[in-house]
Amino acid sequence: MQDLNGKQTALEDDAEIYKRGADRADSKTEKETWKELSAKGKWSYFCSYYLLKVLLILAVLGLIAYGLYSALKPKPEDVCYIVVLDNTLDAVALQEFFDDAVEEMGYKRDKALIYCDTRLSGSQNSINDMSTLSTYIVAGDLDIMIGDDKSLRRYAENGILVDFDTVPDDIKNAIAEEDRYIYHYVPDKDSPEGETERDVFLGICLDSNRVIQDVKFTTGETGYILTIVKTGEAYKNGNVYGVIRALLGIPQVKE
């Protein structure tokens, strides 16, 4: 092919560059094409070229917004952490009761949480569970422990459970004699000097408690005993007393 000056060029007459130029000359702009389309045509055009991109962008923005909300929203205050060992109760119904107890204690339901952990076993054969419990106790995370006599006895022997003779009088007086868990303490050779053999009021037997009656699966006795852990933060700040008042159905008192 020759150019306008008669010189030979390397491009053939049907070269792609000439085709593109011709296409551009004959084609309409996207804006012009869009104006000429009917409403149905515009929707079809949008679906063909843009719908998938828009959906992907919205999905990404949604994930980002959810992540930011989860990270930045205020976390509920931990009112109390409760462990129920070897649970045979309706865990959902039990947690619902403690959710209601939050309001009884004067907190807003979405601002505070009483967490009831029903995953652990008190059996000495469950090494991992025993290790987890020990970690909770040492860290001060565990406030109330509920279990049977056999499971709680080792903790009573180690002196980490609160003597109920020291709790507020309204709570102590609300616990019937037959519902008092009395542990017979016998000091061993490693006990602190001055320790004597004696009966210690260490918990509440919950077999007749209205809440336990409502959430248990079987008609037999549960054998559950509620105890307070000395190292727990909720014991130190008095929140355990609010939980126990809710459990016993007695009026709340500000500590």
The CATH number of whichever domain residue 129 belongs to comes to: 3.40.190.10
Q: What is the pLDDT of residue 18?
A: 47
Same domain, 163 and 49: no
Same domain, 68 and 81: no
Does any domain span residue 132?
yes
Q: How many domains does the chain have?
A: 2
> If we measure between CA atoms, which residue out of 163, 228, 159 comes closest to residue 188?
159
Does any domain span residue 9?
no
Q: What is the pLDDT of residue 110?
A: 82
Same domain, 163 and 186: yes
Same domain, 64 and 102: no
Q: What is the pLDDT of residue 8?
A: 52
State the DSSP string of 68-114.
HHHHHSPPPEEEEEEEETT--B-HHHHHHHHHHHHHHTT--TTTEEE
Does any domain span residue 84?
yes
What is the full per-residue pLDDT of the chain (255 aa) written as tens digits? 544 555 555 445 554 544 554 455 455 666 777 677 777 777 777 777 777 888 888 888 888 877 776 666 667 788 999 999 988 888 888 999 999 999 999 998 888 999 999 999 888 778 899 899 999 999 999 999 999 998 899 899 888 999 999 999 999 999 999 999 999 988 877 777 777 888 999 999 998 888 888 887 655 556 899 999 999 999 999 999 999 999 999 999 876
Does any domain span residue 178?
yes
Does any domain span residue 46?
yes
Residues 6+ away with beta carbon under 8 Å from 196: 187
Same domain, 61 and 183: no
Q: What is the pLDDT of residue 52?
A: 83
Same domain, 194 and 235: yes
Q: What is the pLDDT of residue 98?
A: 92
Q: What is the pLDDT of residue 145?
A: 96
Same domain, 147 and 175: yes
- Give the whole-angstrom CA distance, residue 150 versus residue 132: 18
Same domain, 85 and 140: yes
Question: What is the domain range of residue 56?
Answer: 16-72
Q: What is the pLDDT of residue 17?
A: 47
Does any domain span residue 8?
no
Q: Which two tokens stand for residue 8?
A: 């030979």
Does any domain span residue 255?
no
Q: Which backbone phi and psi does 202 adopt, to 5 degrees? A: -110, 0
Q: Which backbone phi and psi does 182 adopt, to 5 degrees? A: -105, 120
Q: Which two tokens stand for residue 226?
A: 């509620």
Does any domain span residue 138?
yes
